[in-house]
Chains A and B, each alone.
Chain A
Amino acid sequence: MVATISKIATGNGHGENSPYFDGWKAYEANPFHPTDRPDGVIQMGLAENQLCFNFIKKWLMHHPEASLCSAEGVDRFKETALFQDYNGLPEFRQAVAKFMGKVRGDRVKFDPDRVVMSGGATGAHEMVAFCLADPGEAFLVPTPYYPGFDRDLRWRTGVELVPVVCESSNNFKITRNALEAAYEKATEANLRVKGVLITNPSNPLGTILDRDTLRSVVKFINEKNIHLIGDEIYAATVFMEPEFVSISEIIEEVECNRDLIHIVYSLSKDMGFPGFRVGIVYSYNDAVVSCARKMSSFGLVSSQTQHLIASMLSDDDFVDSFIVESKDQLFKRHKYFTWNLSLVGIGSLKSNAGLFIWMDLRKLLKEKTFEAEMDLWRVIINEVKLNVSPGSSFHCNEPGWFRVCFANMDDHTMEIALLRIRTFMLKHNEAMVPGKLCRRSSLKLSFSRRRVDDFMSPSIMSPHSPIPQSPLVRART
């Protein structure tokens, strides 16, 4: 029979098939609710920023025209509804460029004409891959990395990802050696390397790249004449020192071919708006901007949303106070969470950004294997009733690390989660000296590149299914 579905459609490139569905299934079958289901599984696998909605709602109440529903707003309805120009509303691009600058302490300025829309950061990554690489070519990505990259950069593009292995022994920093090793590995496999993709601040580590590392990466890509894609979607979640350093700042300081530099951005994490699908590609390469603009037709931001965002982000007072408020909330929540964990002997990678921590549970493993990590993960889901994300799903080369999100719940839920963790740790008699992360000699496990679909849990990729009790899912007309 001729009419088959394509290989792309029937294969596993979407990355969602996993024999290890326990976490998601357990959560969906029994999701925590403070009153309806207090014994349910608490979702800590969701990197969402829910700490500032009240702040935002106040602004919305005072600015009905942003939602096209006041008298002034309705006037704009027609022109907004008709606006399908892939260049985007000028005020949207200006507001986004200004916001990106403010998030970087106004140390750099962004040109609104280089702001290109995309269907979320998900769409942005795919679009950049389509612009920069042909099928069979490769990008180098430091591990551990966001599992969604395997889908976003590879699935429909035919591009490959080659890991740049980072070790816990030096806090997972990206070293020149690791970059070279990955580059060589790719070359040996007959893959032409087109670029390096870094996520800064890092998901899942929650750390920022220091200046030296950034300079080293920029030097590397310039020498090899390959692209650098900087995914900076967590830029505004840097809640304490050291200060965030963006690629956009580094290229002002060092010799660099700017045609190689591209930034992916989004409002999903910094503002907590994943549902609005606001993705941005910012490139210093004119040809890429031009091509990306045309490609953005496949995932433009709804003009209704462009209008809302333009209104919100043009309000300097609001933006300035939001950035401060958000950092403050994240700092408090992070501190509270990590401190309480340390009291029961659980350490995590020292972090100053992101919506999660990189929790160190290596000492709880029965043995230093990924199977043991999976076993521990099942225990955490089924006994402790917390859905967290195992490090192997992020291609971490060392078992025992887990990404645990802390910004997607209210204080009460956080208390319950901590209580459960405390109970679990006491039960397992793992009282240890509280405090800092135990340094271990590098275990040097051979990293066998796992198929992403062996360890994938859909909840850690965006977009994904929502909290089942969300009224929107159960909504009936």
Chain B
Amino acid sequence: MGLLSRKATCNSHGQDSSYFLGWQEYEKNPYHPLHNPKGIIQMGLAENQLSFDLLESWLAKNPDAVGCKRDGQSIFRELALFQDYHGLPAFKKALVDFMAEIRGNKVTFDPSHIVLTAGATSANETLMFCLAEQRDAFLLPTPYYPGFDRDLKWRTGVEIVPIHCTSSNHFQITASAIEEAYQHAQKQNLRVKGILITNPSNPLGTTMTRAELDLLIDFVTDKEIHLISDEIYSGTVFSSPDFVSIMEVLKDRNLEKTEVWDRVHIVYSLSKDLGLPGFRVGAIYSNDPTVVAAATKMSSFGLISSQTQYLLSVMLSDKKFRKYYIAKNKKRLQKRQRKLVSGLEKAGIGCLESNAGLFCWVDMRHLLSSSTFEAEMELWERIVHDVKLNISPGSSCHCSEPGWFRVCFANMSEDTLKLAMKRLKSFVNSTTSSYNKSHQESKHIEKWILRLSFQSFHEREQDER
């Protein structure tokens, strides 16, 4: 008799994925400029560390916000007692204003349509519980954030069916790819309840085109299913084309009073745009009052600490600061992304042209010994253990083509990035030169060395696609 639940004993938490294993390797031997200069550099963490000084200087000028005070008076008691799952009104207002500003105020959001959750992790899971039954499916364009396997499927019993996107058209979503995924789901007797997109995309770092968004709206309208747009990177769009939110497209097409309006939901968070993942600030935005009502009650299982709601309500209500932060943050992201791109170029490595996110989608297909996922894993293991960079292999993001890697650039200092690029360049040079030697012989030796080094490295992703 099983002592624990099936959920506790299965692997759906996705933690055996190489995405997480890379982190584990990093944790054993983390780089530090002084204490461990030969350690592994973390480039698998999509964190925004570029603009903390802006937040810190705001805090220094606004100590009341973080000290649970208002106008010098302590409101500690009120905050400590505040557990209303409707959320702090001042915070919701500030949050929707922030969201609107990120979208150039081309759309506005109603605070009463917002549901606050403990991070986007919780928001995505909650939406699944609200929109789907067990064994229903959502279609997701690949490549996608590995955490979705846990967030959308684990405790909900919902399935993910991939919409395959390929490098042939820069991984854009096509009508035929969506249709194919839909048919594939039907063949497996899975009822499709909706499509979930991430825009801007993780791991691609690109914003979706209006054409793609139109396509998606047409499809979900036709099939009468939901569309979830995870827009947690919306504030990281640093160059053109401008970010186009799904809400903007609906508005421009005058679809406010139609059925599809109620079936489009947005997920947001402050973990990427503001760089505050520790504070667990997520949100669901929906035009469907039933969804808002149900999700609000469900948020009981993961509310945002009132202390944090208050701090951020003060910060995000500061219009001047908001504007300044958004602009400055974008500039810094752009500058840093360029450094990564040029560093990669010097190593003879290209990447997908991107205008958003905290990472680049890097093309290392030419470094693979063969166009297979096994070769991708081999390459990845060498990069983690020999080059000592933790980057994320495309297979962990369910990419259908081997050879692509997500490399983060905003979670380290400029010097660390320089060093990482130096290491990568040396690696590529040595790989190329050894390749020019006796090809067969060196391959054989390499494989032998690899096997010795990676004896402790058993886990493989459960379902590589």
Q: How far is the CA of A308 from the CA of B4 in the complex (A)?
A: 34
Q: Are B5 and A133 in contact (CB under 8 A)?
A: yes
Shortest CB distance B255–A (Å)? 15
Q: Are B290 and A134 in contact (CB under 8 A)?
A: no
Q: Chain A residues with Cβ under 8 A from B8's Cβ?
A: 130-132, 287-288, 291
Chain A CB within 10 Å, residue with most, of B59, B279, B291: B279
Q: Are A298 and B82 in contact (CB under 8 A)?
A: no
Q: How far is the CA of A299 from the CA of B122 in the complex (A)?
A: 7
Q: Are A9 and B294 in contact (CB under 8 A)?
A: yes
Q: Chain A residues with Cβ under 8 A from B68's Cβ?
A: 60, 67
Q: Are A277 and B303 in contact (CB under 8 A)?
A: yes
Say yes or no for B86: interface residue by CB 8 A criterion: yes
Q: Chain B residues with Cβ under 8 A from A303's Cβ?
A: 278-280
Q: Are A475 and B275 in contact (CB under 8 A)?
A: no
Shortest CB distance A83–B (Å)? 4
In the complex with contacts A53-B77, A300-B118, A120-B55 CB distance below 8 A: no
Say yes or no for A81: interface residue by CB 8 A criterion: yes
In the complex with contacts A9-B291, A57-B76, A48-B7 CB distance below 8 A: no
**Which single residue of chain A is at the shortest CB-CB distance from B319?**
A477
Say yes or no for B330: interface residue by CB 8 A criterion: no
Say yes or no for B155: interface residue by CB 8 A criterion: yes
**Which single residue of chain B is at the shortest CB-CB distance from A192?**
B1
The one of A1, A5, A81, A137 in contact with B279, judged by C-beta atoms closer than 8 angstroms, is A81
In the complex with contacts A64-B67, A132-B4, A156-B298, A275-B52 CB distance below 8 A: no
Q: Are B288 and A5 in contact (CB under 8 A)?
A: yes
Q: Chain A residues with Cβ under 8 A from B304's Cβ?
A: 277, 302
Q: Chain B residues with Cβ under 8 A from A227's Cβ?
A: 3
Q: Are B125 and A473 in contact (CB under 8 A)?
A: no
Q: Are A156 and B276 in contact (CB under 8 A)?
A: no
Say yes or no for A222: interface residue by CB 8 A criterion: no
Q: Chain A residues with Cβ under 8 A from B66's Cβ?
A: 67-69, 73, 77, 304
**Which single residue of chain A is at the shortest CB-CB distance from B192?**
A2
Q: Are A69 and B67 in contact (CB under 8 A)?
A: yes
Shortest CB distance A64–B (Å)? 7
Q: How far is the CA of A272 from the CA of B80 in the complex (A)?
A: 7
Say yes or no for A259: interface residue by CB 8 A criterion: yes
Q: Chain A residues with Cβ under 8 A from B200's Cβ?
A: none
Say yes or no for A274: interface residue by CB 8 A criterion: yes
Q: Chain B residues with Cβ under 8 A from A285's Cβ?
A: 4
Say yes or no for A171: interface residue by CB 8 A criterion: no
In the complex with contacts A9-B130, A84-B278, A53-B308 CB distance below 8 A: no
Shortest CB distance B230–A (Å)? 16
- Summed over the interface, the residue pairs from A and B with CB atoms below 8 Å come to a total of 273
Shortest CB distance B348–A (Å)? 33
**Which single residue of chain B is at the shortest CB-CB distance from A307?**
B278
Q: Are A53 and B301 in contact (CB under 8 A)?
A: no
Q: Are A131 and B4 in contact (CB under 8 A)?
A: yes
Q: How far is the CA of A288 from the CA of B7 in the complex (A)?
A: 11
Q: How far is the CA of A80 from the CA of B78 in the complex (A)?
A: 24
Q: Are B5 and A294 in contact (CB under 8 A)?
A: no
Shortest CB distance B287–A (Å)? 13
Interface readout for B76-111 with A: 1 if CB under 8 Å, 0 if not? 111111111110111001100000000000000000
Q: Are B290 and A466 in contact (CB under 8 A)?
A: no
Q: Are B307 and A304 in contact (CB under 8 A)?
A: yes
Shortest CB distance A354–B (Å)? 18
Shortest CB distance B48–A (Å)? 9
Q: How far is the CA of A126 from the CA of B275 in the complex (A)?
A: 29
Q: Chain B residues with Cβ under 8 A from A274's Cβ?
A: 80-83
Q: How far is the CA of A403 from the CA of B68 in the complex (A)?
A: 32
Say yes or no for B311: interface residue by CB 8 A criterion: yes
Interface readout for B200-232 with A: 1 if CB under 8 Å, 0 if not? 000000000000000000000001111000000
In the complex with contacts A53-B77, A64-B67, A74-B59, A5-B131 CB distance below 8 A: yes
Interface readout for A1-12 with B: 1 if CB under 8 Å, 0 if not? 111011111100
Residues of chain A in range 312-342 having any CB-CB distance to chain B below 8 Å: none
Main secondary structure of the interface of B (DSSP, over half): helix
Q: Are B280 and A300 in contact (CB under 8 A)?
A: yes
Shortest CB distance A264–B (Å)? 13
Q: Are A10 and B84 in contact (CB under 8 A)?
A: no
Say yes or no for A189: interface residue by CB 8 A criterion: no
**Which single residue of chain B is at the shortest CB-CB distance from A276?**
B305
**Which single residue of chain B is at the shortest CB-CB distance from A159?**
B5
Q: Are B59 and A275 in contact (CB under 8 A)?
A: no
Say yes or no for B75: interface residue by CB 8 A criterion: yes
Q: Are A470 and B90 in contact (CB under 8 A)?
A: no
Q: How far is the CA of A68 from the CA of B133 in the complex (A)?
A: 43
Q: Chain A residues with Cβ under 8 A from B276's Cβ?
A: 81-82
Interface size on A, residues (CB 8 A): 85
Q: Are A119 and B278 in contact (CB under 8 A)?
A: no
Q: Are B81 and A466 in contact (CB under 8 A)?
A: yes
Main secondary structure of the interface of A (DSSP, over half): helix
In the complex with contacts A57-B76, A74-B56, A84-B277, A472-B88 CB distance below 8 A: yes
Q: Chain B residues with Cβ under 8 A from A81's Cβ?
A: 52, 55, 275-279
Interface readout for B40-78 with A: 1 if CB under 8 Å, 0 if not? 000000010100100110011001001110000011111
Q: How far is the CA of A120 from the CA of B118 in the complex (A)?
A: 11
Q: Are A291 and B67 in contact (CB under 8 A)?
A: no
Shortest CB distance B150–A (Å)? 7
Q: How far is the CA of A227 from the CA of B8 in the complex (A)?
A: 14
Q: Are A122 and B77 in contact (CB under 8 A)?
A: no
Q: Are B6 and A1 in contact (CB under 8 A)?
A: no
In the complex with contacts A69-B67, A299-B122, A305-B308, A275-B82 CB distance below 8 A: yes
**Which single residue of chain A is at the shortest CB-CB distance from B305?**
A302
Shortest CB distance A17–B (Å)? 11
Q: Are A291 and B59 in contact (CB under 8 A)?
A: no
Q: Chain A residues with Cβ under 8 A from B294's Cβ?
A: 5, 8-10, 14
Shortest CB distance B346–A (Å)? 29
Residues of chain B in range 296-316 having any CB-CB distance to chain A below 8 Å: 297-298, 300-308, 310-311, 313
In the complex with contacts A82-B47, A134-B6, A276-B306, A466-B84 CB distance below 8 A: yes
Shortest CB distance B64–A (Å)? 8
Q: Are B59 and A69 in contact (CB under 8 A)?
A: yes
Q: Are B297 and A16 in contact (CB under 8 A)?
A: yes
In the complex with contacts A275-B307, A466-B81, A8-B5 CB distance below 8 A: no
Q: Chain A residues with Cβ under 8 A from B131's Cβ?
A: 3, 5-6, 9
Q: How far is the CA of A472 from the CA of B92 in the complex (A)?
A: 12
Say yes or no for B271: interface residue by CB 8 A criterion: yes
Say yes or no for B13: interface residue by CB 8 A criterion: yes
Q: Chain B residues with Cβ under 8 A from A300's Cβ?
A: 118-119, 280
Say yes or no for B181: interface residue by CB 8 A criterion: no
Interface readout for B119-133 with A: 1 if CB under 8 Å, 0 if not? 101100100011111
Say yes or no for B191: interface residue by CB 8 A criterion: yes
Q: Are B81 and A308 in contact (CB under 8 A)?
A: no
Say yes or no for B194: interface residue by CB 8 A criterion: yes
Q: Are B4 and A291 in contact (CB under 8 A)?
A: yes
Q: How far is the CA of A6 from the CA of B157 in the complex (A)?
A: 12
Say yes or no for A428: interface residue by CB 8 A criterion: no
Q: Are B307 and A298 in contact (CB under 8 A)?
A: no
Q: Chain A residues with Cβ under 8 A from B15's Cβ?
A: 294
Q: Are B301 and A119 in contact (CB under 8 A)?
A: yes
Say yes or no for A90: interface residue by CB 8 A criterion: no
In the complex with contacts A77-B55, A123-B302, A272-B80, A3-B225 CB distance below 8 A: yes
Q: A2-B193, A5-B294, A74-B60 are in contact. List 20 more A-B contacts (CB 8 A).
A: A2-B224, A8-B129, A48-B81, A69-B66, A78-B56, A84-B280, A123-B301, A131-B5, A225-B3, A268-B83, A272-B81, A295-B155, A300-B118, A302-B278, A304-B305, A304-B308, A464-B85, A465-B84, A466-B83, A472-B88
Could you list 28 examples of A-B contacts with CB < 8 Å? A1-B224, A60-B76, A69-B59, A69-B63, A77-B59, A82-B276, A84-B277, A120-B300, A123-B301, A126-B301, A131-B4, A132-B4, A132-B8, A134-B5, A259-B3, A275-B81, A276-B305, A288-B8, A295-B13, A297-B151, A302-B308, A304-B66, A304-B278, A462-B83, A463-B83, A477-B93, A477-B313, A477-B317
5 residue pairs, one from A and one from B, having the closest CB atoms: A303-B278, A275-B306, A299-B302, A9-B294, A302-B305
